[in-house]
């Protein structure tokens, strides 16, 4: 599992470690790791032009000492001193190794630019001359490596309130920072490289975490010798309408491919006909009124994809949410809940799966505010609504009160197409029915959905139904 921490958590761990080490040890370790990553990016160090963007803080010192190591290997290293002060010992060492101080125009000739402008303690928009230096580096011809975090990205939240370095690689020291995994900051990070400087024993519980293949494989239920369709999980799907029949088909398909022992589908005549023709495995109840009488027992519900938002849908949602099993609330059901918050007043677990606009409606805030601060709003919604929140987007977040927020890193832009969220709802709902908690079902569902999206796209335009079909291959790929 990849864990990440806020700036305050990292600084506290660094202080505890530095108290036990000679002065300068951490900077030496950081510079060695940074120089090794830079050398790997360059391929050939001798004769390469390396420009260091040097700020006033420790990141500037890391960049200078990394520059010393590169200069000793034959690189032409030039430092642009952007801060009001500089790490004097680092600058002296660079000059002794043959490095020089230049103006910002040096960036225009660089093979590699090292961003050491600001560190993890800086919040808010970059001021001049840092903002101009960032713009020049982003427009230049060289590869860009950021030290710890790209300058302009808030290390604790991922917010980007102004100009920011667009890094090809971010070399982060000691432990990953939260803002490197959360959009919009994640979009500026590039490839993430971690340099171990010895912080491990001093780190607290993580702020956020990202599952790996092994984590998901360990969480997924496996059928045993005594398993039957009931023990493997029965998921109910209340989705689709006369207008949106496809949503029902996709949600049921996601649930079936994610290993549900049985899918019980409830809906009106038009979506029932489509589900019946696509999925003969599903047990179907055609509804003429919004009642669950005679549906049979389920262990979790998926509620909302394409359901509509009229009176019929509202009453059906009320009855599903009045049950005593976990419910995944998606799409149109989120609209119903935003209009009638009393629907969420239940003791059984709830997993909501909004995109930014749907979460904004639930929380009565502008969508732009959610998009700019996804982590904050996912956490706040989980606490205020008493639910688990799966906030969909370029980096999907799963938030539950008093737990580290989980960040999904398997997503692909190919999934930004109609209907993929319906598949995700079915997948996560199936995992709920198989006994996973909302926290684990949401996290594993998003992970598998992302892997399946990659497999289904495979360099070609993505067809949403293929995402559901690729779920079993995504599960097999974990081993």
User: Is residue 123 part of an annotated ligand binding site?
Assistant: yes
What token pair was written down for 17?
A: 């470690």
For residue 351, list its beta bridge partners: 328, 388
Whether residue 394 is annotated as binding a ligand: the answer is yes
> Is 331 annotated as belonging to a binding site?
no
Question: pLDDT of 100-129, one tens digit each?
Answer: 999 999 999 999 999 999 999 888 999 999
Residue with tokens 């990202």: 210
Residue 375, pLDDT score: 94
Helix axes of 7-18 and 25-42: crossing angle, nearest 10 degrees: 120
DSSP class of residue 390?
E
Residue 294 is labelled as binding a ligand? no
Tell me, letter by letter, the H, E, C secondary structure of 205-243. CCCEEECCHHHHHHHCCCCCCCCCCCCCCEEEEECCCCC
Q: Which helix (H) or strand (E) holds 2?
A: strand 2-5
pLDDT of residue 387 exceeding 90, the answer is yes
Give the integer Cα–Cα distance in Å for 332 and 339: 11
Q: Given a cut of 80, is residue 160 above it in pLDDT?
A: yes
Q: Which fold has domain 2-210?
A: Rossmann fold (3.40.50)
Segment among 60-64, 78-82, 372-376 with least mean pLDDT: 372-376
Q: What is the pLDDT averaged over residues 60-84?
A: 97
CB 114 within 8 A of CB 66: yes
Widest distance between CA atoms in the chain: 84
**Residue 462, H or E segment:** none
| Calpha distance 469→452 (Å, rounded) | 8
Q: Sign (positive/negative) of CA torsion 386, 392, 393, 399? A: positive
Give residue 227's pLDDT.
Answer: 59
The pLDDT score that the predictor gives to residue 454 is 94
pLDDT in tens, 230-288: 677 999 999 999 999 999 999 999 999 999 999 999 999 999 999 999 999 999 999 99
Q: Counting runs of H as helices and runs of E as strands, what totals does the chain give?
A: 17, 19
Distance CA 432, CA 449 (A): 15
User: Is there a binding annotation on residue 393?
Assistant: yes
> Is 422 known as a binding-site position?
yes
Average pLDDT of span 362-376: 94
Is there a contact between 115 and 145 (Cβ–Cβ < 8 Å)? Answer: yes
Compute how many other C-beta atoms are within 10 angstroms of the C-beta atom of residue 127: 11
pLDDT band at 65 (very low <50, low <70, confident <90, very high): very high
392 carries a ligand binding annotation: yes
- Average pLDDT, stretch 381-406? 96
Question: How far is residue 99 from each of residues 45, 58, 74, 399, measured CA to CA in Å?
Answer: 14, 19, 10, 47
Write down how long the chain is: 479
Interval 418-469: pLDDT, tens: 999 999 999 999 999 999 999 999 999 999 999 999 999 988 888 999 999 9
Please determine whether the domains at 2-210 and 213-476 fall in the same fold group of CATH: no
Cβ-in-10-Å burial (0-12, 13-18, 19+) of 8 comes to: middle
Give, to the nearest 10 degrees, the angle between helix 332-339 and helix 311-321.
Answer: 90
Domain residue extents for the chain: 2-210, 213-476
Instruction: Give residue 372's pLDDT band: very low, low, confident or very high (50, 70, 90).
Output: confident
The predicted structure's pLDDT at residue 223: 74
How open is the CA angle 341-376-432, to the nearest 5 degrees?
Answer: 60
Element (H, E) at 67: helix 58-72
Whole-number pLDDT of residue 91: 97
| CATH 3.40.1190.20 at 213-476, yes or no | yes
Chain centroid to CA 299: how far? 28
| 130 labeled binding residue | yes
- The pLDDT value given to residue 230: 67
148 is in an annotated binding site: yes
115 is in an annotated binding site: yes
Segment 197-242, tens digit of pLDDT: 999 999 999 999 999 999 999 999 887 666 556 677 999 999 999 9
Please check if 151 is assigned to a binding site.
yes
Is 59 assigned a ligand-binding role in the annotation?
A: yes
β-pairing verdict for 100-101 and 169-173:
unpaired
Consult the annotation and say whether 162 binds a ligand: no
Q: In 3D, which of 409, 429, 421, 454 has the Cα closest to residue 355?
A: 421
**pLDDT at position 58:** 92
Give pLDDT, residue 229: 66
Give residue for tokens 């009176």.
311
Query: Annotation-wise, does 395 bind a ligand?
Result: yes
Q: How far apart are the first and last CA of the chain?
A: 16
Q: Print burial letters for 290-319: b (CB count within 10 Å at least 16), e (below 16).
A: bebeebeebbbbbbbbbbbbeeebbebbeb
**DSSP symbol at 108:** G
Asked whether residue 421 is marked as a ligand-binding residue, the answer is yes
Q: In what order do the strands lie in the sheet with 208-210?
A: 176-177, 2-5, 208-210, 405-407, 397-399, 388-391, 350-352, 327-329, 300-303, 234-238, 262-267, 283-286
By the 8 A CB rule, do 106 and 80 touch? yes
How far is residue 260's CA from residue 245's CA, in Å, rounded to a whole number? 21
- The reply, when asked if residue 449 is annotated as ligand binding, is no
Residue 247 labelled as part of a binding site: yes
pTM of the model: 0.91
Res. 40 pLDDT band, cuts 50 70 90: very high
What is the arithmetic mean of pLDDT over 136-148?
97
- Binding residue per annotation — 396? yes
Q: CA–CA separation, 321 vs 115, rounded Å? A: 51
- Residue 81: pLDDT over 80: yes
């Amino acid at each position: 599992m990849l864990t990440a921490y806020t700036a305050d958590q990292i600084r506290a761990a660094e202080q505890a470690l530095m108290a036990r080490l000679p002065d300068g040890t951490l900077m030496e370790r950081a510079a060695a790791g940074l120089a090794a990553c830079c050398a790997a990016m360059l391929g050939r160090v001798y004769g390469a032009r390396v420009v260091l963007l040097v700020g006033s803080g420790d990141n500037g010192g890391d960049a200078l000492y990394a520059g010393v190591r590169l200069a000793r290997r034959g690189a032409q290293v030039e430092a642009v001193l952007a801060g009001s002060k500089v790490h004097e010992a680092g600058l002296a060492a660079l000059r002794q190794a043959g490095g020089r101080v230049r103006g910002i125009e040096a960036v225009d000739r660089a093979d590699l630019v090292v961003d050491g402008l600001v560190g993890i303690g800086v919040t808010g928009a970059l001021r001049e001359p840092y903002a101009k230096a960032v713009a020049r580096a982003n427009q230049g011809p060289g590869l860009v490596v950021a030290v710890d975090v790209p300058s302009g990205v808030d290390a604790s939240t991922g917010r980007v309130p102004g100009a920011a370095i667009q890094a090809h690689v971010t070399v982060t020291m000691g432990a990953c920072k939260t803002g490197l995994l959360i959009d919009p900051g994640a979009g500026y990070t590039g490839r993430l490289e971690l340099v171990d400087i010895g912080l491990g024993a001093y780190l607290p519980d993580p702020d956020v975490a990202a599952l790996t293949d092994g984590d998901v494989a360990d969480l997924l239920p496996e059928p045993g010798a005594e398993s039957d369709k009931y023990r493997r999980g029965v998921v109910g799907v209340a989705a689709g309408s006369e207008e949106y029949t496809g949503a029902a088909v996709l949600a049921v398909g996601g649930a079936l491919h994610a290993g549900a022992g049985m899918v019980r589908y409830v809906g009106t005549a038009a979506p029932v006909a489509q589900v019946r023709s696509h999925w003969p495995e599903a047990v179907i109840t055609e509804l003429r009124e919004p009642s669950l009488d005679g549906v049979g027992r389920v262990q979790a519900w998926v509620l909302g994809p394409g359901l509509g938002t009229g009176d019929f849908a509202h009453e059906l949602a009320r009855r599903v949410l009045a049950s005593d099993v976990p419910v995944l609330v998606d799409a149109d059901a989120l609209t119903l809940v935003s209009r009638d918050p009393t629907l969420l007043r239940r003791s059984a677990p709830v997993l909501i799966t909004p995109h930014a606009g749907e979460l904004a409606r639930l929380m009565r805030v502008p969508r732009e505010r959610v998009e700019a601060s996804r982590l904050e709003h996912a956490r706040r919604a989980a606490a205020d609504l008493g639910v688990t929140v799966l906030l969909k987007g370029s980096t999907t977040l799963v938030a539950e009160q008093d737990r580290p927020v989980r960040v999904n890193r398997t997503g692909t832009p190919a999934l930004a197409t109609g209907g993929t969220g319906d598949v995700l709802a079915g997948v996560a709902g199936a995992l709920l029915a198989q006994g996973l908690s909302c926290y684990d079902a949401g996290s594993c569902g998003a992970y598998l959905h992302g892997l399946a999206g990659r497999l289904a796209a495979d360099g070609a335009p993505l067809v949403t139904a293929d995402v559901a079909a690729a779920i079993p291959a995504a599960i097999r790929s974990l081993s």
